[in-house]
Amino acid sequence: MALKIFNTLSGDKEEFVPLKAGEVRMYVCGVTAYDSSHVGHARSFITFDVIYRYLKFSGYRVTFVRNFTDVDDKIIKKANDERASSETITDRYIEEFHRDAKTLGLLPPTEEPRATLHIAEIVSLIERLEEKGLAYQVDGDVFYPVERFKGYGKLSRKKIDELESGARVEVDERKKSPLDFALWKSSKPGEPSWESPWGPGRPGWHIECSAMSTKYLGQPFDIHGGGRDLIFPHHENEIAQSEGAFSQPLAHTWIHNGFLNINQEKMSKSLGNVYTIHEILQHADAAALRHYFLASHYRSPMDFSFQGLEEAARATDRIYETLERVERAGKAPPKVEPDRRSLDAFRQEMDDDFNTPKALALIFDEVRTLNRLLDEKRSDEIHPRSSALRVMGEVLGLIQDTPEVFFKRKKDRWLQQQNLTHEQVEAWIAQRNQARKEKRWQEADRIRQELQDRGIMIEDTPGGTLWKVK
């Protein structure tokens, strides 16, 4: 089965055929660096991380570009509020983003361009639009005349005559049409600015992505992605700029992940339900958060709840518990080929528009099969099946650690929440073991129950007593 992807532009699933055999060029809109990244961002990051991983797994050489918007009205406001420079603000949140990305286990993109380092390319693109009659200047500002681009609205399926004045666009009486958008903004006191043919100023948001994507990927390129909220006006305006400038498609396939609500409400600071990635990962492992998102199809709207995250955490534990059992069952032979039938089934589901819910179902089929084989001591089948499980988990980014590292991280997080130390838990276990040694079974059971009440599960093995967090 060939890879099929739902293309927002056509509104249909299409067989994916890269522009150049064996290569994929992909651009995904990154964050505006003025605040901490939240759980909605995490869904988009993880979606495109899985797509990136799967394309690489499928044998493509992938050039993946994810940008930073580091000049914007929100950044300037934050800088003014804190009496700091815009660069101070953006550096802080870009550094924080990189910490979040590492914790989430995101593969680094090929390029991570910052808009402020591409002013020359932005100015050049605006000049090209001017030459084609697709830009006009008013008092040092430069605007794009939407009505002059015949294809406007083809991505969002919006019609120009139906778009209301002031709907998601900035009202400015100097514009020829209220729908026209800024390519270049003249400088105001206290704002960052650069020299340009139209005077000192800064780029508009949309032109930044057009310039950066074209620089690193050329035009057209294979895949453009982002959250569904970016379809209009951001991606629609990117198309107008880039296709207006170069008279050819910007990207062949447009991929957008669905909206994320919080407990059936839209994320909003006024509702107090905007959770940062850092806050979420205080409660659950990154693998659990990834599992939670992948259990829904990336295009579907999704409701986030801590109860759902806890269920995903328990399911993720099962995967690692199974891998731990495999390790205890004995060392794998030097060369083990993953079970081919399992991987073929996995490919079939992922080739269907990256159907991660069904791919996850296959992973848990593998978990159940492996536990049965382990119970039956069928060592001949265990390692090919466990190898397939690892491959599938790695492609989804669910398995990035050994069971030992995974469970230690879980213990450390839980101990911190409970204000306990490893030494305190080990002391309780030592007391129980001493009670067992002296055949004081009632005392041993009491300690075991006390540990269980605190969320600690213990297991007696030939190598000693092991403990895990429930």
Q: How far apart are CA 85 and CA 73, in angstroms?
A: 13
Give just the sign of the alpha carbon dihedral 414, 420, 423, 426. Answer: negative
Is 80 exceeded by the pLDDT of residue 333? no
What confidence tier does 168 reach under pLDDT thresholds 50, 70, 90?
very low
Q: What is the CA radius of gyration of the chain?
A: 26
What confidence tier does 178 reach under pLDDT thresholds 50, 70, 90?
confident
- What is the share, in percent, of the chain residues with pLDDT greater than 70? 98
- What is the share, in percent, of the chain residues with pLDDT greater than 90? 78
Q: How far apart are CA 50 and CA 112, in angstroms?
A: 18
Which pLDDT belongs to residue 170? 53
Residues 190-204 have pLDDT tens digits of 899 999 999 999 999
Residue 66 DSSP label: E
Which pLDDT belongs to residue 171? 62
Q: Which of 9-13, 267-271, 296-300, 344-348 comes out lowest in average pLDDT? A: 267-271
Residues 69-127 have pLDDT tens digits of 999 999 999 999 999 999 999 999 999 999 999 999 999 999 999 999 999 999 999 99
Is 80 exceeded by the pLDDT of residue 153? yes
List, in order of start, the domains of the chain with CATH numbers.
17-271 (3.40.50.620), 310-401 (1.20.120.640), 420-469 (no CATH)
Is 80 exceeded by the pLDDT of residue 331? no
**Tokens 């990256």, located at residue:** 354
- Number of helices followed by number of strands (H, E) in the chain: 15, 15
- DSSP string covering 133-199, please? T--EEETTEEEE-GGG-TTTTTTTT--GGGSPTTSSS---TTSSSTT-EEEEEE--TTS--B--TT-
Q: How far apart are CA 249 and CA 241, in angstroms?
A: 11
Residues 407-445 have pLDDT tens digits of 999 888 888 888 888 898 888 888 998 889 899 999 888
Q: How far apart are CA 49 and CA 277, in angstroms?
A: 16
Residue 271 DSSP label: G
Which pLDDT belongs to residue 416? 86
Which pLDDT belongs to residue 165? 47
Q: How far apart are CA 428 and CA 452, in angstroms?
A: 12
Among the listed residues 273, 334, 278, the one whose alpha carbon sits nearest the alpha carbon of residue 305: 273
Confirm if 247 and 5 have CB atoms less than 8 A apart: no
Burial of 318 (0-12, 13-18, 19+ CB in 10 A): middle
Q: How far apart are CA 255 and CA 291, in angstroms?
A: 20
Confirm if 221 and 251 have CB atoms less than 8 A apart: yes
Is 80 exceeded by the pLDDT of residue 308? yes
The whole-chain average pLDDT of the chain stands at 93
Higher pLDDT, 137 or 455: 137
Among the listed residues 205, 207, 224, the one whose alpha carbon sits nearest the alpha carbon of residue 63: 224
pTM beyond 0.85, yes or no: yes
- Over 403-463, what HEC string results? HHHHHHHHHHHHHHHHCCCHHHHHHHHHHHHHHHHCCCHHHHHHHHHHHHHCCEEEEEECC
Mean pLDDT of 362-386: 93
Q: Which of 53-67, 170-184, 295-309 comes out lowest in average pLDDT? A: 170-184
Is 70 exceeded by the pLDDT of residue 169? no
Angstrom distances, CA of residue 215 to CA of 125, 153, 231, 345: 11, 25, 21, 38
At 358, which amino acid appears? K
